[in-house]
Amino acid sequence: MLRLITDFDGPIMDVSERYYRVYQFCLEKTRKPGQRVREMSKAEFWQLKRSRVPENQIALNSGLDEVQAQAFSQLRRDSVHTEHFFQYDIPIPGAVDALLKIQQAGVDLVVMTMRRVWELDYAVQKYDLGKFFPENRRYCLSNDYVKTRDIEDKPLLMTKAVAELPRATDTWMVGDTEADITAAKKHQIKVMAVESGIRDRTQLKLYQPDLIVPNLSTAVEMFLEPATSSREIVASVK
């Protein structure tokens, strides 16, 4: 049996609009009356997020002072995972078709995400993704889970999945962050990093995934074509 484990945000869902709306909200709430600030364009903001510029630096770049930047960062943490803003997430173009393709190929499909149960259920129901991921193929955080850091929490989910899922002859992980790469590597699972999420290629390369591909559609093509030449593989990680 072949298995593909995929992260949710990044490979499947585009979260850029949610993050940008939260940025706009926090900037407006933190600025003083009459204070001049510089609201970044979505493209500029998302580029900074993907290159892992800290939240307080994004606030400073937008014209807030040091004290405001701390308040901005806290408000952002309190807001980004609330139901009001989740409505802005949308599927990445081609992602649903990619899921359908790999399901039709008979591959065991698993989702592994740092979303809590209610956060995953919200998107799964809204976009009818349950047909790809039955309950026993969804690995996420409980609603009352106390998060530490994704790079520490996600390997714990992978450990749980490896213990519970039936043995597969070949398994790949698809993700968009260092947490995905680390979780896979800790269990000797091959990993493809996608550039459609919240990390750019420079950040992904630091964690040495087996492959770096543009999106889930390309990842599925690579997964279903085991005869891919070594030249193509080498090219994909440069």
Residues 63-83 have a mean pLDDT of 97
Q: Flag whether pLDDT at 227 surpasses 60.
A: no
Q: Flag whether pLDDT at 58 surpasses 60.
A: yes
Q: Could you tell me the pLDDT band of residue 230, with boundaries at 50, 70 and 90?
A: very low
Residue 147's pLDDT is 86
Mean of pLDDT over the chain: 94
Q: For the whole prediction, is pTM greater than 0.85?
A: yes
Residue spans of alpha helices (H) in the chain = 16-30, 42-50, 55-61, 66-79, 83-86, 95-104, 117-126, 150-164, 178-186, 201-205, 216-224, 230-237
Q: Does domain 2-14+89-237 sit in CATH 3.40.50.1000?
A: yes
Q: Flag whether pLDDT at 233 surpasses 80.
A: no
How far is it, in rounded angstroms, from Cα 122 to Cα 127? Answer: 9
Domain ranges of the chain: 2-14+89-237, 16-86
Q: Are strands 170-175 and 190-194 parallel, antiparallel or unpaired?
A: parallel
